[in-house]
Structure 1
Amino acid sequence: MLTKKTGLFVSFEGIDGSGKSTQARRLADTLRAMGHTVDLTREPGGSPGAEEIRALVLQGDPDRWSPETEILLFTAARRDHMERRILPALAAGQVVICDRFADSTRLYQGASRGDRRVLVDALHDLMIGREPDLTILIDMDPATGLARAKGRQGDEERFEDFGLDLQRTMRDGFLELAAAAPERFRVIDGRADEDSVAAAVLDAVRPALP
């Protein structure tokens, strides 16, 4: 896959209810005010085809799809998203901010219902071929995050319905990913107030700005 880039690719990760989506939006607003051209997007989704897949994977019964089918669906959505939105924006010199990316698939699909991480990574290498330049991990207590997530309105609650044990597994997994790739990850304490978290996020991103 084409990997040429002149912009900056930032992903936000964290358990459900960690506040990562809010912080991704705040960072986008701040960078735009600073004069940067920013494309704020999300996964699964971000392109018309990927948004259709999003509706398939985030709604319905928790056991609607097998883990293997989920991995294929998420990878297909990501490929379309990369081709149609992320890579063109980077080639144009933009800052791309993505709410979730491949690290979420490594954990939610690769580790939540058995060990399928090897399959996730093999498909990622074959079909995607790159990582974000910088990943912001908003770290949050699993019980607090789940309570926040369950309090949201909407019908995209399939993964929240797996319960607290999944949240704990995901938090541990995200921290392990961050420890394994410290050059890419910046871990931000999500327990602070929203403004303090936003300031910490900007401090982490600022040195990497184009």
Structure 2
Amino acid sequence: MSGLYITIEGLDGSGKTTQLDALARWLTDAGHTVAATREPGGTEVGVLVRDIVLHHRGDIAPRAEALLYAADRAHHIATKVRPALERGEVVIQDRYIDSSVAFQGAGRVLGADEVRRLSEWATGGLYPQLTVLLDLDPSVARQRIDAAQKVFDRIEAEAIDFSVRVRAAYLEMADAEPERWLVLDATLPADELAAAIRERVTDLLRTSGTVGTAG
């Protein structure tokens, strides 16, 4: 594959959408073909899964939730992400495997290794060349969500200790694989964050011609 695969991770309220949009605009202006997407919800099937996992009014068993995310991911990678990478496009994605490891593996206490293996099987082991983590204290993330005056989805409505486990899992993954991760303080001004991301992406565009795989 000749494309570049970038994912953006973090707690809800960390500013992922803002940074994804800024990076997509910058790359497009520089002449790159960009595919901006998200999980869940990056395909028609994903929209249906997103409604179930985030807005279903009843309980969803944690293992069922993890399987729903993996099913969406399998379809999303096969029908949208891999084809875009094969065309040489830059794919920028809001959430990927690392989200499931953090939210279902740690947040739901299902186990990081089990959840990762499930997603690796679903995607054929596809990993991004760069994962940006917008790191944010859970209490600050909750304040931002509250300030937005929105109706909480199922994940946002979880107690603060859930988000504490998620954040810790993210930081542990980033520490274990620093060559793939770029960890940024999400309390910094948006333009400073965007500049730091652009600097790392510029380096990748100069040196990278293939997409990473597991193992």
The reply on whether 1:64 has 2:59 as its aligned counterpart is yes
Q: 1:29: how far off?
A: 0.6
- The alignment covers a number of residue pairs equal to 205
Question: Which moved further from structure 2: 6-15 or 169-178?
Answer: 169-178
* 1:16 Cα offset (Å): 1.1
**Change in CA separation of 1:208 and 1:150 when aligned onto 2, cut-off 3 Å:** same
| Mapping for residues 120-131 of structure 1, pairs under 5 Å | 120-128=115-123, 129-131=125-127
Question: Is the CA contact (8 Å cut-off) linking 1:89 and 1:96 kept in structure 2?
Answer: yes
Which residue of the partner structure matches residue 184 of structure 1? 180
Unaligned runs of 5+ in 1: none
How far residue 20 of structure 1 moved from its aligned partner, in angstroms, is 1.3
RMSD (CA atoms): 1.5
Residue 2 of structure 2 aligns to which amino acid in structure 1? T
Report matched runs for 1:150-169 at 5 Å.
150-152=146-148, 154-155=150-151, 157-169=153-165
Match of 1:134 among 120, 130, 137: 130
Q: Which moved more, 1:180-189 or 1:164-173?
A: 164-173
- Cα offset for 1:38? 0.4
Question: In structure 2, the residue corresponding to 1:110 is in which secondary structure?
Answer: helix
Q: Deviations over 1:37-71 (max 9, x none)?
A: 1011001121111111011001134x721111011
For the Cα contact (< 8 Å) 2:63–2:110, is it kept in 1?
no
CA 1:153–1:44: 2 relative to 1, 3 Å: farther
Q: Distance in 1 between matches of 2:136 and 2:117?
A: 29
The one-character-per-residue Cα deviations of 1:59-100 (angstroms, maximum 9, x if unpaired) are: 134x72111101110000001101111001000000000001
Alpha-carbon distance, 1:149 to partner: 2.1
Number of the residue aligned with 1:114: 109
1:83 to 69, 78, 83: 78
Deviation at 1:202, TM superposition (A): 0.8
Q: Sequence identity, in percent?
A: 39
**Divergent runs of 4+, >6 A:** none
Q: How does 1:171-210 map to 2 (within 5 A)?
A: 171-209=167-205
One-letter code of the match for 1:100? R
